[in-house]
């Protein structure tokens, strides 16, 4: 199974258009404190216990630092029956490199 993905450019276009989507950040709180995209923070290890916080009918974009954890989270959500979920290719690192070079990185 291929994990559905979205590029940082596509995410930027959605943000600029004020599109309705749920941005899920699966990093840890210490990482979120360094930099974030104003997404909903649910660390990957807490995801199974916090599924009730995610609307199954909404478009969901999942991100992490570089894309590995968010890929796992995306695949997990799909396995749980979520239909409209995509992984942010390259994570917040790609966002900082390609969209917002002033963003603090780690």
Query: Is 35 annotated as catalytic?
Result: no
Q: What is the DSSP code string of the chain?
A: -PPPEE-HHHHHHHHHTT---EEEE-S-HHHHHH---S-EE--GGGGGGGGGGS-TTS-EEEE-SSSHHHHHHHHHHHHTT--SEEEETTHHHHHHHHT-TTS---
- 76 touches 97 (CB < 8 A): no
The single residue of 64, 73, 85, 94 carrying the catalytic annotation is 64
Both tokens of residue 88?
A: 């942010």
Residues labelled catalytic: 64
């Amino acid at each position: 199974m291929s994990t559905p993905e979205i590029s940082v450019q596509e995410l930027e276009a959605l943000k600029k258009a004020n599109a309705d989507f749920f941005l899920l950040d699966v990093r840890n709180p210490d990482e979120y404190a360094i930099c974030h995209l104003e997404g909903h923070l649910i660390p990957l290890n807490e995801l199974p216990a916090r599924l009730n916080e995610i609307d199954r009918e909404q478009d969901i974009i999942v991100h992490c630092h570089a894309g590995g954890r968010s890929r796992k989270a995306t695949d997990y959500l799909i396995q749980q029956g979520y239909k409209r979920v995509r992984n942010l290719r390259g994570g917040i690192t790609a966002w900082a490199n390609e969209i917002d070079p002033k963003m603090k990185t780690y």
